[in-house]
Each structure stands twice: as structure tokens, then as C-alpha cells.
Amino acid sequence: MDIAARLRFDSIVTSEIMKTRFLFGLLVLSGSFTLLTRTSAATKASEDYPFKPVPFTAVHLDDAFWAPRLETNRLVTIPYAFGKCEESGRMDNFERAAAVLRGENISNRKPPGYPFDDTDPYKVLEGASYALAVQPDPKLSAYLDKLISLIASAQEPDGYLYTTRTIDPEHPHKWAGTKRWVNESQLSHELYNAGHLFEAAAAHYQATGKTNLLHVALKEADLLCDTFGAGTNQLHIWPGHEVVEMGLAKLYRVTGNPRYLALAKYFLDVRGSHPGGDDYHQSRIPPMEQTEAIGHAVRAGYLYSGMADVAALTGDEQYIHAIDTIWQNCVGEKIYITGGIGARHNGEAFGNNYELPNLSAYNETCAAVANDYWNERLFLLHGDARYMDVLERTLYNGLLAGVSLDGTKFFYPNPLESDGHYERSPWFGCACCPGNITRFLPSVPGYFYARQKDRIYINLYAGGTADIHLDDGRKIRLTQETSYPWDGAVKINVGPEKASRFTLALRIPGWARNEAMPGGLYHFADTNTESVTLQVNGKTAPLKLENGYAKLDRKWKAGDVVTFNLPMPVRRIVASEKVKADIGRVALQRGPIVFCAEWPDNPNGKVRNLILPDDKPLSATFEPALLNGVETISGKALAISKSADGSIVKTEQNFKAIPYYAWANRGPGEMIVWLRDSDDGVQMP
Ligand SMILES: [Zn+2]
């Protein structure tokens, strides 16, 4: 379906947008807009995060692992996801809402499938904006402009944008409630829609410099500022699905308008402040009093990320204290070895402590994205590598598993075991996950580097270049050469514009320091005795670790070279014995990659019957033709089967494991991450 054929814009709407865009553009260009609002700030803002990310636009990856994935996302998944949004009526919802606003009598007033269907185009638009910032694409750019005009045309005159109500205010989706906002703290998702609009608008503005979507977002943000707050004529309601807090923080950063930051903080402060809340929505008690990762996992991850943003921008220590405590609970008791969070299907929620079933693990792809948003923000607050350890684990395993290698099939839950009845889907009725992975992947280069004063943090490793500007204006180009995540040898060419003193802080991952996970939920079964080596210009440099970083403080000149090696033996991981599901079982990891055994690689298409004894040696091999090129782990395992007389028979056979993220690309069948390591009490699966 060609979207162009569907768009019949009201010329007045378009010309209004053009006028506003022109005005806004002038203000932004002259800097007066930012200056004006900053000087009139009622809320004294802090300096934002103490550690500054190096933006994804300044980091160019040209490696064999990420670069092809980002291209697949740009060339395949983004157009595919837009196509699915068109096909499934998500664009049509905006068109029907626009027609109603123009006073047309439309025949189809059926509400959208979900009241948050508007967020799917927003999320893909956000991802497409990131992609555009890196790679100009006039066709994509034109498509976005048309889509933005369509979105703008569905916005009510006062800024309200929620197609299900606008299409038929008398009979919106049953979750929407009979009037604006009445069901917001439960199921209407009006503020969730707004939050994703804000995130998309900030990304689109930063990526393209265009203000067309930003204009739509600010109009709605202004409505929210008037509607919600502590005033007697305002609504004291918390968002039922968090994300608007992060979105408002981004609008604040873009515009400098303190109202947006104040509203983000209000949405946190009002949460749990009066009866009616519950754990599912993280609204039973105020966020700053919360100590445990609870309820719907995506909502939770977005809430904690929003708390970090507001804390960074306002200096509110109480929010930092709360998310630090919740993080300890999450990584110490509730996270999977893949970095996935949210164990339960029921309520898409965190389970109790140590409740981490494998076959029925929920681990929504969106929750992995949310977990990485949260851990990135904790790093930006604290500058500690342990948050990047969790981010990396989630990124390479639980998050990346959410999309097929060809970029057109998706997982919603990400279990750690399959009996063969679970497959990826081309799309979902509730399509939050495809959009989330589509928007997250293009931003991956933005997680690699950070800076603070005269320190540069190198958090992730992949071949490519980064152009880093320190606060004092110094420019430094870093070039990484590495085959990470398959090989831990990394060479970094240091290229300061002028020779000068600064510090390079290299993250030495937990897995290279015999720490499987901060918090002790998982540990390596053995101790790796191969040590990390570090050299500067070929000379061994001392490995002094501080917060997980090897710091090299010296006067650098162009042509300096840092080399280091993170040994990547195959490691067995065991879980705390409090995790019942993993008792008597081991998982395999090499470097940052968690492995699984999948049906095509093991005899008889079975893997749930395997025992991997602790003394069986395992080796790793790179297989360029398998699954777009992956390292595999092989050795011998015991397969259990039942003989004719009913007794259990063990047979030694070849064993092979592949990276967890690459499973389910070869048709449905068995898969398992946690393998039995002995036949104690073994039963036929
Ligand atoms: Zn989702």
C-alpha cells in the first residue's frame, strides 16, 4: 500500500505547520529559544548526567558483527515495519482521526486494535530518524515527512493526540475510558502514546534538524503541562504505562523549557501518592520508596530510566538511591543469564526473587530494551562498569534474540528453553516489540563511548571510529580494530588533534574478571587463569582497575596505539542454588555471548535430553557459513533416552552449541540454555 496515495492533507494544516516550523527554526537557529526558556527556568536544572555519552552520530561501526545488523535494520526492518503498520491499519487510524477532525462523515469508526497502536509508527519513525542521521536517504526522509504530516493532521486543536478517541469519542477502545484521561492510570495509555511521540520527535529533530514532528510533540506536551500537575484545577494522575517521563526529559533537553522537566518529575512524584495504585503499575507506593523490581517489566524499566533522567536533570538524590536499590534486587535476584528481565507471562511481570523458569520465561524483547536504557543511565550517573556489564549481556543475548537474522521476524517473549512449539512471528497484534528493536538497533553505536572532563570511557568493543569532543574543545579520534565479540584482542589507535594529556578508561568486562554477573546470582564454575594483557605502543602497561576500568592517564599523541586482550575461553556458568530452575545445570558463555543448544546442530533434533558433564572438554570454532557467521562450541555430551524395557540409557554423542541470539532462525525445534551437568535424578524430558 502506498502511503502517498492515502494522504490528502488539509492545506491549512500544512501551511500552519510550515509557518510554525519556520518560526521555530528561526528561534532555534538564533539560539534565542533555548536562551529565553533557560533564563526563565523555574526549576533549577543540574548539568544533566555527569558522564556524557558520545552520540551515535559520532561513532561509526564498520565491523563484521554490528555494521551488517544495522544495515539490515535500515534496509529491511524499517521499511518492513512501516509496511506492517500500513497493512495493519495503524496509519489508517491517523487518517480516520484526521477525517473526523475535518468534519467528514467516515463510515468506519471501528477503534484501533489497541489504544496504543499509534506508538508503533512512532517507534519505527524514531528508529528511521537514527538511521537517517547516519546515512542520508531521500526516499526515507520523504516518507517520514508524509507520515509526520499524517500524524499532525490527527492531532486535535488543543494538542491531544490519541486516535482511538478522536475516531469515535462516543465509542473509543474500551480501555480508553469515556472521557480523556479517566482511565489513564490503568489502561488507556494516552500518556504512553504521548511519551513515544516525544521520544520520536526528539530523535527526529536531532537527526534531521527538522521541527515538523517536534512541533506536534510540543503542542501535546504543552497540553499535558496545562492538564497535569499539583494545581487545584489540574489532574493528579500518574501514567499507567511509563515512558512519558523519558520523553519529557528529552523534550526538555531539546528545548530547554523547564515545564517539561517539571512535568516529568511530577509524573514520578504523583505515582503512588494516593490510593488506587498497585504493584503491576509500580504505583502502590511512591517510586522513591520502592526497593524491589516489581510488576510489569517494561513499565518498570521505563520508570527506572525516567527516574534516572529526572535525577540527572534535577539532582534529586532520592531517585538515584531508589534505582540503585532496585538495581541490586534486579541483578542479584531477578535477571536471567541472557540479561532478560520479567519472568512471568502473567502480567508480563517480574517474578519473586529467584523465580526464573526457563521454558516459560517471559523476557519480553521490550523489557530487554528497557533494561539497557536503565543500565546505560545508571552508568551515566555513576561511571561504573558493572552497569555496562549488564547492558552488554542484555544487548548481545536477550535483546538481539528479539529479531531474526534476516530482520523480518520477531520474538515477544524470549524463553531460555523450547520444546519445539515456539517460533518467531512476522508481526503481532500488540506490536510493541518489533518497533522497539527497530528503534534501538540504530542507536547501538551511541552506547560505545562516554566522556567525563578529560576522561574517555570505552564501554563496548567493535571495529570502527569515534570522534570525541572533550569539554574543553579537544578533539580525539579513536579507531578500534577487533573481531569482538568472537575474539577479545582489541587494538585502539589514538588520534588526538594535538598531543595532550587525557585518560582512556577501558572497560574490562566482568566476564574477563571471573565475575559472571554483578550481585552473585550467577558465577563461573571455574576460574580463568589467563589474564588480561594491556600494552601502550607495544610496552606492557600496568592493569590498575577502578570501577571496572583500566585507566591510562598520559600525554597522548597521534599514532599512539593501545592493545589489550580479553581472554575468551569457553566458560561454564552455574546459578545460585536458590534458582530452582537451574539446579544441576550449567550454561555456556564465551566472551559476552551466552550459548544454547538447538535442534539442527545435535543428533536426532533433540537437545532437552542432553547431559553435559563438567569434565567434558569444550572447544570453540568460528563457522563463517553458519547463521551469518558465528562462533560455535562443541564437544561430547551424553544423550538420555528410554530403552524398550523403560530403563534410561545414556549415549555419548557429539554436542554443539550456538549463540543464544541466533536461535530460531532455522525453523521450530528444541532449544536449551541451561543443560543438565549430571544424571542425578534425571527424568525423561
Ligand atoms: Zn514488547
Q: Residue type for 197, please?
A: L
Q: What is the per-residue pLDDT for 46? A: 66
Q: What is the distance in A from the centroid of ligand 1 to the CA of 297?
A: 10
User: What digits encode the pLDDT tens for the residues 555-595?
Assistant: 999 999 999 999 999 999 999 999 999 999 999 999 999 99
**What DSSP character marks residue 55?**
P
Give residue 547 CA to ligand 1 midpoint distance, Å: 33
Say if CB 124 and CB 140 are below 8 A apart: no
In contact, 412 and 364? CB cutoff 8 Å: yes
Of 344, 410, 406, 363, whose CA–CA distance to 594 is shortest?
Answer: 363
Helix, strand, coil proportions of the chain in percent (round to 5)?
40, 20, 40
**Nearest Cα to 524, choosing from 554, 467, 569, 492?**
569
pLDDT of the residue at 648: 87
CB-neighbour burial class of residue 189 (10 A; exposed 0-12, middle 13-18, buried 19+): buried
- Give the count of beta carbons closer than 10 Å to the beta carbon of residue 529: 8
**Measuring CA to CA, how many Å separate 530 from each of 10, 513, 514, 565, 569?**
68, 10, 10, 10, 9
d(CA 323, CA 292): 9
Q: How many Å lie between the centroid of ligand 1 and the Cα of residue 122?
A: 14
Helices (H), 466-546: none
How far is ligand 1, taken at its centre, from the CA of residue 86, in Å?
19
Q: What is the DSSP string of 219-272?
A: HHHHHHHHHBSSSTTSB----SS--HHHHHHHHHHHH--HHHHHHHHHHHHSTT
**Which segments within 352-454 are labelled E, that is strand?**
417-419, 449-452
CA of 242 to the centre of ligand 1 (A): 13
Report how far ligand 1's centroid is from the alpha carbon of 21 (Å): 33
* Helical residues (DSSP H) of 636-682, grouped into ranges: none
Residue 464 identity (one-letter amino acid): G
CA 395 to chain centre: 8
pLDDT in the model for residue 642: 87
Tracing cell 501514567 back to the chain, one arrives at: 239
- Angle, vertex CA 196, rays to CA 195 and CA 199, nearest 5: 90
How many CB atoms within 10 Å of residue 221?
A: 26
pLDDT tens track for 475-528? 999 999 999 999 999 999 999 999 999 999 999 999 999 999 998 999 999 888
The beta-strand segments (E) located in 485-629 are: 489-496, 500-507, 522-524, 533-536, 539-540, 545-546, 549-556, 560-565, 571-575, 585-590, 593-598, 610-611, 618-623
**Adjacent-strand bridge partners of 521:** none
Q: How far does residue 375's CA lie from ligand 1's centre (Å)?
A: 18
List 85, 225, 330, 432, catalytic entry: 432
**How far is Cα 187 from Cα 175, in angstroms, rounded to an integer?**
5
Q: How far apart are CA 506 and CA 120, in angstroms?
A: 37
What residues form DSSP beta bridges with 635?
Answer: 618, 655
Report whether 492 contacts 90 (CB < 8 A).
no
Kindly give the distance from the C-alpha atom of residue 469 to the centroid of ligand 1, in angstroms, as a whole number.
35
Residue 280 CA to ligand 1 center (angstroms) comes to 16
Place of cell 540504530: 442
Report how far ligand 1's centroid is from the alpha carbon of 404 (Å). 15
Q: Which of 184, 348, 417, 598 does the annotation list as catalytic?
A: 348
Cα of 106 from ligand 1 centre, angstroms? 32
Q: How far is the CA of 308 from the centre of ligand 1 (A)?
A: 21
554: left (phi over 0), alpha (psi -120 to 50) or beta: beta
Type and span of the H or E element at 650:
strand 648-659
371 within 8 A of 341, measured Cβ to Cβ: yes
Q: Specify the residue for cell string 489508517.
A: 92
Which residue in 171, 166, 175 sits closest to 220, CA to CA?
A: 166
Give the Cα separation of 458 and 491 in Å (integer).
12
Separation of alpha carbons 92 and 96, rounded Å: 6
Catalytic annotation present for 497: no
289 is catalytic: no
How many CB atoms are located within 10 Å of the residue 600 CB? 16
pLDDT tens string 192-206: 999 999 999 999 999
What's the 189 CA to ligand 1 centre distance in angstroms?
A: 14
Q: Which residues have a Cβ under 8 Å from the Cβ of 407 and sit 6 or more positions away?
A: 72, 73, 76, 77, 80
Ligand 1 center to 93 CA (angstroms): 20
- Sort strands 449-452 and 549-556 into parallel, antiparallel or unpaired: unpaired
Q: How far apart are CA 162 and CA 224, in angstroms?
A: 13
Q: How far apart are CA 316 and CA 309, in angstroms?
A: 10
| First-to-final CA distance of the chain | 47
C-alpha 328 to ligand 1 mean position (Å): 24
Q: Is 97 helix (H, G, I), strand (E, B) or coil?
A: helix
Model-level pTM?
0.93
Distance 75 CA to ligand 1 centre (A): 22
CA-nearest of 570, 485, 581, 584 to 528 is 570
In the predicted model, residues of the chain with pLDDT beneath 50 are 1-44
489 forms beta bridges with: 565
Phi-psi category of 399—alpha, beta or left, where left has phi over 0 and alpha has psi -120 to 50?
A: alpha
Distance CA 232, CA 252 (A): 24
How far is ligand 1, taken at its centre, from the CA of residue 234, in Å? 32
* Cα distances (angstroms) measured from residue 446 to each of 79, 286, 311, 557: 22, 32, 21, 25
Could you tell me the distance, in angstroms and rounded to a whole number, from the CA of residue 633 to the centre of ligand 1?
31
**Cell numbers linked to 621:** 570454532
Whether the Cβ atoms of residue 596 and residue 673 lie closer than 8 Å to each other: yes
The amino acid that residue 92 corresponds to is D
Residue 182: CB atoms within 10 Å:
14
- CA angle (460 as vertex; 457, 466 as ends), nearest 5: 65
What is the Cα–Cα distance from 375 to 367, expressed in whole angstroms?
12
**Joined grid coordinates for residue 185:** 492510570
- How far does the centroid of ligand 1 lie from the alpha carbon of residue 349, in Å? 12
CA of 300 to the centre of ligand 1 (A): 13
